[in-house]
Structure 1
Amino acid sequence: MSPRVVVFAGGVGGSRFTLGVRAALAARGAEPTVVVNTGDDLWLSGVRLQPDVDSIIYALAGVNDTARGWGRAGDTERVNEELQAWGAGWPWFTLGDLDLGTHLARTGWLRDGLTPTQVLERLSGRWPLGARLLPMTDAEVDTHVVVADGERMHFQEWWTRHRATLTPERFENPGIERATPAPGVLEAIASADAVLLAPSNPVVSIGPILAVPGIRGALRDTTAPVVGVSPIIGGAVVRGMADVCLAAIGVPTAADAVAAHYGARSGSGVLDAWLVGEEDGEAAASVSALGIEAHVRPLWMTDAAASAALAEGALAAAGL
């Protein structure tokens, strides 16, 4: 029987890892189910944006802008320029024309009464993605950042406009305590042969997924091994400002510290195994001391082959 693999993902690292998992599973006649972070979603100029959802769709479809790491390849910005001329939207948050087509389609379907899960199913039908995508929840639980002076702003403003230069005191997802997992999420986890946590930002990509009531419990209850991949290589973040996010919650920028943040399933956490980079091989012992099986692997996803090899390593750690 083909293995049933669930991936938790968000951001550029999640997109690249998902591509690798898809390639690794294709050789086994299987497709992954990807639970995507929707904590960085937002309303802007009257349309609903889902940055992580769209990044993963575009990556799987092969239409993503690999140079920028977000948006569509070859996109133009005529509509965005017109919005700016009207003083609409955010001048520091660029929306490409093709990307806006996605947002308009999504918003129209939401206005028609479809749920985010149903909308994502429609969006996934345009291209042969080779994966089943599920939002973490159908509820709107956008991420807010409270900075040192008490000011509150949307995560995208803090991340894109301020480039994480404003010291965060905490990250919040208002209403997440009342949210429920999207249809199919708990069932996919319960029936999985492996659950993989992508090397996404632990605080604002994987964190919101785990914060949806019921999902952490499902991870602890599943019979499938739960394997995570470190987003820290050689004591540094691979991309973005995840180190600032980790510092805000008191977690050092280190592979073993992030493993400890997730915790061992033998204790009160969610991990059975954790992949660390070759540059962090000395951290394997401290990971093992947490009750988490440590695997030292090359983690750099420099191309499709490297991403697939990393996915193979994660699947091997899960016994597949």
Structure 2
Amino acid sequence: MIVALSGGIGGAKLALGLSQVLPPSDLLIVANTGDDFEHLGLTICPDIDTLSYTLAGLDNPVLGWGRHDESWGFMDTLGALGGPDWFRLGDRDLAVHVLRTHRLRGRETLSSITDDVRQRMGIGPRILPMSDDPVRTRILGDAGWIDFQDWFVRQRAAPVVRAVEFAGAAAARPQPEVLAALRAGPRAVAICPSNPFISIEPILAVPGMRDAILASGAPVIAVSPIIAGQAVKGPTAKMFAELGTPPSAAAVAARYGDLLTGYVMEEGDDATGIAPRVFRAATLMRTLDDKVALARAVLAAADALR
């Protein structure tokens, strides 16, 4: 079993690569839910949906989010009526949010809904939320605390980041099947190349999650989302700089601290000061072959550390 911790776009690429080289029963993907929010009366789970669409072959490679077979009648009508259209919901994507919200109101868990949708989309590996309890990432800017999607989407990540918090994390419980997989002694825990501040640290903030990873005895291997001081996608580099640390692969490794036993980073990047054992690979994933090659590199690193 490989337990993979993942955010959205970057993490989903490696998750797809892992799904191509592992039997479905040997891969468990733990999705960040700190990005989740309530919008237009619906519960939106961006990272769960990005992972699901990517592994189902439904993702939109042009936008980097949503589905490739999308139409936009709902949003066009909403905007024409003066509604809040800053968070784009395609017509097919909207059906997922409506169904999820309906079932959550019927007292089903996010885990069971996600797993059912996963199976109906024909996805083999399990995708589970980090917790069935709500955790919401918030950003402290100069004007005060901002809900994550407001900061990231509506304000295009423009406000300077002074701090990050995970509201509800202290009361959240880790997803039970994730804990069971960690107790069973997985082959490795892979931290996908996602933003550490807003994609991976919400998972680790759930009480007991970090301890369970350390107690598993498995190699813990992170893949750097930073190449030559720049983020492959998203605000990772900006957040490092605004929180007082020059962005680099080494800065990401330091952020995870003693959790890591291995670290996969771009072949030419500076590894000075990185504590865990470093493994070199091509970490920019443009094609499916790139994703598969990086997945194989992560698995080779895991086996070298066992």
- Superposition TM-score, scaled by structure 2 size: 0.95
What is the deviation of 1:21? 0.7
What is the deviation of 1:248? 4.2
- Residue 70, structure 1, aligned to residue 65, structure 2: yes
SS of residue in 1 equivalent to 2:189: strand
Instruction: Please tell me whether the aligned partners of residues 21 and 32 of structure 1 are also in contact (alpha carbons under 8 angstroms).
Output: yes
- Residue 12, structure 1, aligned to residue 9, structure 2: yes
- Superposition TM-score, scaled by structure 1 size: 0.91
Q: How many angstroms apart in 1 are the aligned matches of 2:26 and 2:285? A: 20
- Residue 275, structure 1, aligned to residue 272, structure 2: no
Instruction: Please tell me whether the aligned partners of residues 117 and 183 of structure 1 are also in contact (alpha carbons under 8 angstroms).
Output: no
**Residues 158-178 of structure 1 deviation map (CA, whole Å, 9 limit, x = unaligned):** 111222111011112211111
Q: Match for residue 22 of structure 1?
A: 19
The structure 1 residue matched to 2:31, chosen from 16, 28, 36, is 36
Q: Match for residue 255 of structure 2?
A: 261
Q: Match for residue 236 of structure 1?
A: 230
SS of residue in 1 equivalent to 2:30: strand
- Give the 4+ runs in structure 1 shifted more than 4 A: none
Q: How many angstroms apart in 2 are the aligned matches of 1:84 and 1:256? A: 44
- Residue 186, structure 1, aligned to residue 188, structure 2: no
Q: How many angstroms apart in 2 are the aligned matches of 1:85 and 1:139? A: 35
Instruction: Please tell me whether the aligned partners of residues 37 and 53 of structure 1 are also in contact (alpha carbons under 8 angstroms).
Output: yes
Change in CA separation of 1:249 and 1:212 when aligned onto 2, cut-off 3 Å: farther
Q: Match for residue 282 of structure 2?
A: 298
- Residue 59, structure 1, aligned to residue 43, structure 2: no
Q: RMSD value over aligned CA atoms?
A: 1.4
What is the deviation of 1:74? 2.2
Instruction: Please tell me whether the aligned partners of residues 31 and 132 of structure 1 are also in contact (alpha carbons under 8 angstroms).
Output: no
Instruction: Please tell me whether the aligned partners of residues 129 and 175 of structure 2 are also in contact (alpha carbons under 8 angstroms).
Output: yes
SS of residue in 1 equivalent to 2:211: helix
Q: How many angstroms apart in 1 are the aligned matches of 2:232 and 2:277? A: 23
- Residue 317, structure 1, aligned to residue 301, structure 2: yes
- Residue 250, structure 1, aligned to residue 250, structure 2: no
Paired residue type of 2:71: T
What is the deviation of 1:42? 0.6
SS of residue in 1 equivalent to 2:4: strand
SS of residue in 2 equivalent to 1:168: coil
Instruction: Please tell me whether the aligned partners of residues 114 and 127 of structure 2 are also in contact (alpha carbons under 8 angstroms).
Output: yes
Q: How many angstroms apart in 2 are the aligned matches of 1:46 and 1:149? A: 26
Tell me the matched-pair count: 303
What is the deviation of 1:314? 0.7
